[in-house]
Structure formats: C-alpha cells, structure tokens
Amino acid sequence: MLKAKIAVLVSGGGTNLQAIIDAQNSGVIKSGEVALVISNNSGAYALTRAENAGIKAVCISKKELKTQEAFESAVIAALEENGIDLIVLAGFMSILSESFTSRYDHRIINIHPSLIPSFCGQGYYGLKVHEAALKKGVKVTGATVHFVNEIPDGGEIIAQKAVEVMDGDTPEVLQKRVMEQAEWIILPQSVEKISAELINEK
C-alpha cells in the first residue's frame, strides 16, 4: 500500500513524536509512515526515540550553520533526499521562513497547546502557553493542529480538542493534561487525515 512519507521535526523530549510512532504501530496512522526525524538540538531525547523505533534521525544545528538560510537549505536537502510528503512540527522550537513554508504549502502541520486563536503566536510556546491560560483564568483550554504558514500559529485549523482547566492547576499539571487528553489524540488523527489526502493526490 502506498504511504505518505512523514518527517517529524523536534527540539526536545519528543512526546508528540512518540504519540505518532505509537499511533503508527496501533494502526491509527495507516496512510503514512515516519521516514525521518530531524532535530535542531543534538541533545534532544526525541532523536533517541527515533532510533529506538528504527527511524532515521538527523541533527541539523542552526548554531553550527550560522544562518537561517543555510539551516533551511540543509533541512530541505534532508527532506528531498528522503522523499518526504508531509512535515510534522512536534515541539520544534525554530521559526521557519516564508520561503520554506510556501515551498511546502499545506504540507506542514503543527500542534499548538491551546485553542487557537487564544494564547498563540509569537512568544507562546511550551509552558508559557499554559501559564498564560491560568493567568487569564480560562475554564477551558486544549490543543490545535493547524497548517503552517509564515505567521506563527497562523495557518488554517485542521483539528481542535478542548480540555477542562481544574482548580489548583499548575502550568505543569495543565500541560500534562492537555498532552494526554488532546495533543496525543488529535495529532495522530490529523497526521492520518492529511497523509490519506496526500496519497489520493498522487
């Protein structure tokens, strides 16, 4: 069966990468397969997760390559070399330029830990999102999977799932709940949906 080839771009622990690998193993994702994991951080545990799953993993360091252009050229070379159809940003802490995102129009998706348009855009990432939600006093938060364009968190929405905020939540507790009840569910589902659409276009 023809499958979309997926690259997952990561910067840290790779819990969303693990959710995708698990979903592939359990059959939730059947129209695509992770063929490549790219990290901009050589110390990312996500690289170990990829190796443990038998997935090709590479580190491309922006610090070493000095410029955004050189960094993106190296990422593009790796994507092309591996015949990648779909790019998934899973906790990838590097903003991509318009020339990169327009090259892969509607082929890059990202998971964001809030219900966009709340708590999103420049500067909202990781725990900062949950800190802002708690500070605002919202009763419901969640996660959003969206296409990536040149505006941070600005692309069209693919899926959202709401998660209740509990009294006494800390940012860390809320982050964990959002991951377990939203991110790890809608990200694999969205990967499958877009993979199936990409195969149909082939």
Exactly one of 106, 112, 130, 146 is catalytic; which is it? 112
Rounded to whole angstroms, how far apart are CA atoms 195 and 188?
Answer: 10
The residue whose two tokens read 């693919």 is 158
The two structure tokens encoding residue 141: 């938060």
Q: Which helix (H) or strand (E) holds 193?
A: helix 184-201
Is there a catalytic annotation at residue 106? Answer: no
Q: How far apart are CA 103 and CA 25, in angstroms?
A: 30
In 3D space, the residue among 5, 6, 8 whose CA is nearest the CA of residue 40 turns out to be 8
Active centre residues (catalytic): 112
